[in-house]
Amino acid sequence: MKNLQIRRKIAAGSAVDAFMADRAGHSVLVQVSHPEVIADPELYGRFLDTTRVTSTQHRHPALLAPELTSCEPDGRFVLVTGPVSGRTAADHLRERGPLTSSEAIRWGVRICDALEFLHAHGVVHGHLAPHNLFLDGDLDQPEVRLLDTALLLFRGTKSVPRGQVLVAPEYLSPERCAGRRATPACDVYGMGVLLHELLTTEPPFSGRGVTETRALQLHAPLPPLRPGLEEWQPVLARCLAKRASDRFGSLAELRDRLRTLKPLETPAIEVQLCELELKKPRCLQPGDVIGRYRIESLLGEGGMGHVFAARHLSIDRRVAIKVLRPELSRIDSQVQRFIGEAQAVNLVKHPNIIAIEDLVREGDRVFFVMELLSGKSLKLLAKDAPIELTRVVRLMRQGADALAAAHGVGVIHRDIKPDNLVVEPGPDGDEQLKVLDFGVARIRGGDLKAAYRTQVGQVVGTPLWMAPEQVMGHQVDARADVYSLSMVMYVLLTRRFPFSGADLSQVVMQRLSRDADPVGEHSFLGEKIPWQVQRLLEMGLSRELGKRPISMEWFAAALREIEQGTAEKPIEVEEPGRPWWTRWRS
């Protein structure tokens, strides 16, 4: 262990002890075998077999398993896992308190995936405690990985002294408290204990000592949850059933049940840029008059201006008014960009693009009048609940139609994200997507070119949703909007981003070096994602421009065929002989 600097011991097992250590400037987890394991040839042989399986077969993104194995001169084995932060769910609970409902759902689904993988390899975890959940990356949106305790809990016939307790009784199922061996049903029970602790900071059954705690595990009913967690009560009650046959039949069944719970937030949608806000007083208040309109309320604000609900002074008609910030109205380039947004929208005139009715400049005050939308942005809709696949396809097709129309008159949006896509009740009663905020659009040719002249290397838009070439500040074309719309569709289906990283900048920069993670075969809701959608998102999120759809019109046509196929009959997963996407290549 000459290249390892041991920092602290984190666990003691029957065959190994676990430590946090430093190696080459990184924090790693180290497991070191006990001397008595080496002294018993029979036990040592079984230990080596278990080590081989643990370090070679247990490979899962949600599982923290050994990656490097070495043997010390005295025969002891050292298994190194990492790099890891060393931060655990126990630290998170101690510092930040209980998880929100949506966080518990996200963590629970990921841990169920890891456990299902272990069970498929014949391994029962047996110790689902917060200190065995390791957190990496962003403190607010950590990547959760479960420590594989197969070696910590390794049980040869001579490895565990009589009476030794390897797992705290708070984390033992009733059958294990009664002395029986662990089964997959014990991990279902363990998930109930873990989820209860993540939601409340306390395990459900904890007495004044080992004997009392075991008695509670065997006989006590589940205590009631605090207000706001009522939806969790039946889920935890089934996980924590005293009889194994009354629990969820598998971790996959539990995972599917967790996905039916209503999350209060959407982690992926909630990721925001850390922008410096302009702490200026609002230029207008309810009751103020601007032009021919009286301000009613503030609807929102952004980097360039405020949006208000207003009513016409002489006719009973409500509108939305976007007003340029006063401090920007004295900068000609900002005024031109603001005016250019209205002119860009009026170039298109499409039912799926918000209509702008008037543009006014009164001294230092610049504003334009828009139709007043009553719907919600995709960001807010996704916060309320996951969106089913057919609805995502339908909405994305409408967005693609709108952007194709904009591209047709030379307007590239450059800031497609869930905040800028609003779902409205349509004139026929159906949902109608509206694309808004063309404030950073680029217009090709014409007198408006000066309003959108971007210096080389200048990045405009929201980097989290940008195409790679846009992140780099390069000149963009319609395929940048294809990339961003594909990103939105991916996140709506999966509630995760196709790139990972320790912080937001890494998530953004990942797209410069590699293609997106595949969307997978199932949505967050467990729906089968058709192969057409998988292929379309693979193309739309390609780093290379030449591999993306050749136009937004092409992209919209592909979505329309998927939408029609979904409506008429189940889409076949098997790909037919002739690739469907070649029909739009010519």
> Which is catalytic among the residues 136, 415, 419, 437?
415
Domain boundary among 347, 370, 393: 370
| Environment class of 277 (CB within 10 Å of its CB; exposed 0-12, middle 13-18, buried 19+) | exposed
Residue 541 included in any domain = yes
Over residues 97-109, mean pLDDT: 89
Contact between 293 and 313 (Cβ < 8 Å): yes
Res 416 pLDDT > 60: yes
In this prediction, residue 577 carries a pLDDT of 44
In a domain, 212, yes or no: yes
Instruction: Check whether 436 has a pLDDT greater than 50.
Output: yes
Q: Which residue has the higher pLDDT, 331 or 269?
A: 331
Inside any domain, residue 16: no
Sheet bearing 143-147, strands edge to edge: 63-64, 143-147, 133-136, 87-88
Does one domain contain both 346 and 386? no
What SS3 state is found at 127? coil
CATH code for the domain of 460 = 1.10.510.10
User: Is the model's pLDDT at 328 over the cut of 80?
Assistant: no
Q: Specify the pLDDT at position 486.
A: 97
The CATH number of whichever domain residue 349 belongs to comes to: 3.30.200.20
Q: Is residue 305 part of a domain?
A: yes
Return the pLDDT at 227: 79
Contact status, residue 189 vs residue 197, Cβ threshold 8 Å: no
Q: 410 with 445, same domain?
A: yes
Q: Give the residue numbers spanning the domain of 227.
A: 87-265
- Mean pLDDT, residues 78-89 taken together: 75
* 462 and 350 co-located in one domain: no
Residues 297 and 433 placed together within one structural domain of the fold: no
User: Residue for token digits 């969307």?
Assistant: 519
Q: What local confidence, expressed as pLDDT, does residue 178 receive?
A: 87
pLDDT reading at 154 higher than 60: no
Is residue 30 included in any domain, yes or no?
no
Q: How far apart are CA 302 and CA 525, in angstroms?
A: 32
Q: Does residue 249 have a pLDDT over 70? A: yes
Domain boundary among 312, 336, 370: 370
119 neighbors 251 (Cβ within 8 angstroms): yes
Residues 6 or more apart whose CB falls under 8 angstroms from that of 138 comprise 502, 503, 504
* Euclidean distance between CA atoms 459 and 483, whole angstroms: 16
Q: Over the chain, what is the mean pLDDT?
A: 78
Residues 122 and 160 in one domain: yes
Please indicate whether residue 80 or residue 493 has the higher confidence score (pLDDT). 493
142 and 244 part of one domain:
yes
Contact yes or no for 495/266 (Cβ under 8 A): yes
Sign of CA dihedral 202, 208, 214, 215: negative
Query: Which pLDDT does position 443 carry in this prediction?
Result: 57
Token digits for 405? Answer: 């129309």
User: At residue 196, does pLDDT exceed 70?
Assistant: yes
- The verdict on residue 44 lying in a domain is no
State whether 498 and 361 are in the same domain.
Answer: no
- 522-539 average pLDDT score: 93
Q: Which residues pair with 443 in a beta bridge?
A: 411
Between CA 98 and CA 76, with CA 134 as vertex, the angle to 5 degrees is 145
What sign for the dihedral angle of Cα 194, 199, 204, 207? positive
Share of the chain above pLDDT 90, in %: 29
Q: Are 76 and 66 in contact (CB under 8 A)?
A: no
Q: Is the pLDDT of residue 396 over 50?
A: yes
The answer to whether residues 433 and 352 touch, using CB atoms and an 8 Å cutoff, is yes
- Is the confidence at residue 45, as pLDDT, over 90? no
Mean pLDDT of 464-470: 87
Residue 20 domain-assigned?
no
pLDDT value of residue 460: 44
pLDDT value of residue 502: 58
**Buried b or exposed e, range 234-245, using 16+ CB within 10 angstroms:** ebbebbbbeebe
Same-domain check for residues 339 and 413: no
> Do 494 and 350 lie in a common domain?
no
Q: State the pLDDT at residue 91.
A: 87
Residue at which a domain ends, from 343, 370, 397: 370
Q: 200: pLDDT confidence band, cut at 50, 70 and 90?
A: very high
CA separation for the pair 2, 6 (Å, rounded): 10
For residue 327, what pLDDT is reported? Answer: 72
pLDDT at 155 over 80: no
- Report the alpha-carbon distance of residue 47 to residue 52 in Å, rounded: 9
Poorest-confidence range of 40-44, 129-133, 381-385, 482-486? 40-44
Confidence of residue 404 (pLDDT cuts 50, 70, 90): very high
Q: How far apart are alpha carbons 82 and 529 in whole angstroms?
A: 33
More confident residue, 176 or 189: 189
Which of 127-141, 163-177, 334-348, 499-513 is predicted least confidently? 499-513
- Residue 336 vs residue 459, higher pLDDT: 336
The confidence score (pLDDT) of residue 152 equals 52
pLDDT at 25 over 90: no
CA 234 to chain centre: 26
pLDDT in tens, 334-371: 787 777 777 777 777 889 998 888 888 887 788 889 88
Q: Which two tokens stand for residue 96?
A: 């930040």
Q: Convert the pLDDT of each residue in 550-564 to its tens digit.
A: 999 999 999 999 998
What pLDDT, on a 0 to 100 scale, did the predictor assign at position 329? 77
> For residue 473, is pLDDT > 60?
yes
pTM over 0.85: no
Q: Is the backbone of residue 247 left (phi > 0), alpha (psi -120 to 50) or beta?
A: beta
Nearest CA to 115 among 147, 87, 138? 147
pLDDT at 571: 35
Does 1 map to a domain?
no
Q: Identify the weakest region by mean pLDDT among 270-274, 310-314, 411-415.
A: 270-274
Cα–Cα distance, 481 to 203 (Å, whole number): 48
**Sheet order of strands, 356-362 included:** 289-290, 293-301, 305-312, 318-324, 365-370, 356-362
**C-alpha span between 487 and 496 (Å, rounded):** 10
Q: Is the pLDDT of residue 56 over 80?
A: no
One domain for residues 433 and 480: yes
Question: Are residues 350 and 212 located together in one domain of the fold?
Answer: no
CA distance linking residue 386 with residue 390, whole number of Å = 12
Q: Is 415 designated active site?
A: yes
Question: 179 pLDDT exceeds 80?
Answer: yes
Determine the pLDDT at residue 346.
Answer: 76
Gap between the terminal Cα atoms of the chain = 61
What amino acid occupies position 398? Answer: Q
Domain match, 353 and 479 both = no
What's the mean pLDDT in 23-46? Answer: 70
Q: Indicate if the pLDDT at residue 430 is higher than 90.
A: no
Q: Which residue has the higher pLDDT, 74 or 195?
A: 195
DSSP notation for 326-391? TTTTT-HHHHHHHHHHHHHHHHH--TTB--EEEEEEETTEEEEEEPPP-SEEHHHHHHHSPPPHHH
**Domain tally, the chain:** 3
Residue 54 CB neighbours (<10 A): 21
Per residue in 208-230, pLDDT (tens digit) is 888 899 899 999 989 888 877 88
Find the range with the poorest average confidence among 168-177, 402-411, 439-448.
439-448
